[in-house]
């Protein structure tokens, strides 16, 4: 029987009726197994196995970005920094939404790649490895970004990455993009910043600022992008000459948004604008997949796929926005005014899910009510519902289900309910947070998307969810 390779063990979901009393839906959180995983985990190399083609789809292995983490990184300090950065990123997303709405910006077969956790690269996002001009690049996967970029040599200012920088001078297929080109003119919609002429008055310079203070600047170029035996010619990307931020040891970032410069748009003729992923846990052995193309035969989902439509929004059309209609905690439906209030963003680049204050308050109160009898603990960074589980072998925790329009359901995996802050389990927190006010846009983060097959169909403007245990080995 397959064993769960994540730091949480998945137990059966059950609903019991005894003596007329409803027993809440629960999952088992294995505290001891989680501690052993964190104490004895190995640190593999950064590059992932080669992508492959299967049944007309490209499959890339996907891991948590910590896959490239240094061994001596301080556990508590790293997690606190990452959650602070996650909070800054969310703040930036809210500012970006306000800016885009107020300015009324309104322009504008299948591959599978290994997808892994990035925890060893000092990030809680996810990474894949692709070929760029014949050089393997390990990049962060982000559905909330559009421009793909990598660090380039020579680099004016670059953060430390585990592999070599991209060398455009050694690639016969690399070409710079001119500043007066239509591609350069499409930058405002994809990045929020206009393209500019470089120092030699011909190259198109770009700037991308992220919410946590990270940034990348450089020039736009075209190159061959390769994965799963497929080569995409004239792929537009950013050649970063000045980069700083919490990108860990990765080469850069791959944008899976909806603008013309995203990977999905640039490969639409080949793969039909469809991609999906299954995000694994942060454990070293856990590995998910990024599938580019519309070929459900390669999925390993254990529940049927349920689709919900993307909310149309001409001003914010490069984001994936859904209609959250309800949340169920331990079998109890939440009642809150924040449901259906402007949509919720589905984002692989945000770690922790953010809910409207009224929704979060209802979820928090019901969760703590059902998870009673366990000692509470102080909050940690953006997480305010925490417990001290020292000495417990395992505990039963309430289930969390998110419901979307058309009865689509995201059954949050047990690995996405609790966030282990301290290795001794003296500080374990509910992995959800509240927005500042009711009118900010909610975000479904990658922590709550674990062990799910999430399908993005940009052609038909819909998103699908299905359970898929990609953290099993």
Catalytic residues: 142, 347
Note whether 465 and 449 are within 8 A (CB): no
Tokens of 113: 């790649």
Dist. CA 154–CA 157, nearest whole Å: 9
Note whether 450 and 405 are within 8 A (CB): no
DSSP 282-339: SSTT-EEEEEEES-GGG---SS--EEEEPPP-GGGTTS-EE-EEEEEETTEE---TTT
> Cα 11 vs. chain centroid, distance in angstroms?
24
Contacts of 74 (CB under 8 A, 6+ apart): none
Of 62, 166, 165, 51, whose CA–CA distance to 116 is shortest? 62
Dist. CA 170–CA 149, nearest whole Å: 18
Strand-pair partners of 227: 230
DSSP 367-406: HHHHTTTS-EE--BTTB--EE--TT-SEEEEE-EEEEEGG
Contacts of 145 (CB under 8 A, 6+ apart): 208, 253, 255, 256, 257, 262, 349
Dist. CA 4–CA 34, nearest whole Å: 11
Strand-pair partners of 203: 178
Contacts of 36 (CB under 8 A, 6+ apart): none
Question: In terms of C-beta density within 10 A (0-12 exposed, 13-18 middle, 19 or more buried), how is residue 40 classed?
Answer: exposed
Name the CA radius of gyration of the chain, rounded.
21
């Amino acid at each position: 029987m397959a064993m769960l390779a994540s730091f949480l063990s998945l137990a059966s979901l059950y609903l019991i009726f005894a003596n007329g009393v409803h027993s809440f839906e629960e999952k088992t959180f294995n505290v001891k197994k989680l501690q052993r995983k964190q104490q004895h985990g190995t640190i593999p190399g950064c590059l992932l196995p080669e992508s492959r083609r299967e049944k007309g789809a490209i499959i890339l292995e996907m891991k948590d970005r910590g896959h490239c983490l240094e061994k001596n990184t301080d556990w508590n300090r790293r997690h606190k920094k990452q959650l602070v950065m996650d909070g800054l990123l969310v703040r930036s997303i809210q500012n970006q939404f306000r800016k885009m709405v107020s300015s009324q910006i309104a322009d504008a077969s299948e591959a599978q790649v290994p997808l892994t956790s990035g925890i060893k690269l000092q990030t809680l996002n996810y990474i894949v490895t692709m070929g760029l001009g014949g050089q393997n690049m390990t990049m962060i996967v982000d559905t909330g970004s559009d421009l793909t970029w990598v660090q380039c040599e020579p680099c004016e200012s670059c953060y430390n990455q585990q592999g070599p920088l991209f060398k455009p001078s050694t690639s016969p297929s690399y070409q710079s993009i001119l500043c007066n080109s239509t591609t350069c003119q499409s930058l405002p919609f994809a990045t929020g910043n206009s393209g500019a002429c470089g120092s030699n008055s011909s190259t198109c310079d770009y700037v991308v600022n992220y919410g946590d203070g990270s940034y990348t600047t450089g020039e736009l170029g075209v190159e061959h992008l390769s994965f799963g035996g497929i080569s995409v010619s004239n792929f537009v990307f950013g050649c970063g000459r000045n980069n700083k931020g919490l990108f860990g040891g990765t080469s850069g970032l791959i944008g899976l948004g909806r603008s013309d410069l995203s990977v999905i748009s640039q490969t639409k003729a080949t793969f039909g604008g469809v991609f999906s992923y299954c995000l694994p846990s942060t454990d070293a052995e856990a590995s998910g997949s990024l599938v580019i193309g519309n070929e459900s035969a390669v999925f390993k989902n254990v529940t049927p796929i349920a689709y919900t439509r993307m909310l149309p929004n001409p001003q914010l059309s490069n984001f994936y926005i859904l209609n959250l209609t309800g949340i169920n905690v331990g079998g109890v439906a939440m009642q809150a005014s924040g449901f259906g209030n402007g949509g919720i963003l589905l984002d692989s680049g945000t770690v922790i899910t953010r809910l409207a204050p009224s929704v979060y308050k209802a979820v928090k109160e019901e969760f703590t009510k059902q998870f009673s009898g366990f000692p509470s603990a102080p909050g940690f960074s953006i997480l305010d519902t925490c417990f001290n589980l020292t000495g417990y072998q395992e505990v039963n925790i309430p289930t969390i289900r998110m419901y979307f329009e058309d009865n689509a359901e995201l059954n949050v995996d047990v690995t996405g309910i609790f966030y282990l802050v301290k290795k001794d389990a003296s500080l374990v927190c509910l992995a959800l947070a509240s927005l500042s006010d009711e009118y900010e846009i909610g975000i479904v983060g990658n922590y709550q998307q674990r062990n799910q097959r999430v399908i993005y169909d940009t052609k038909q403007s819909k998103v699908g969810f299905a359970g898929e245990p990609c953290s099993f080995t």
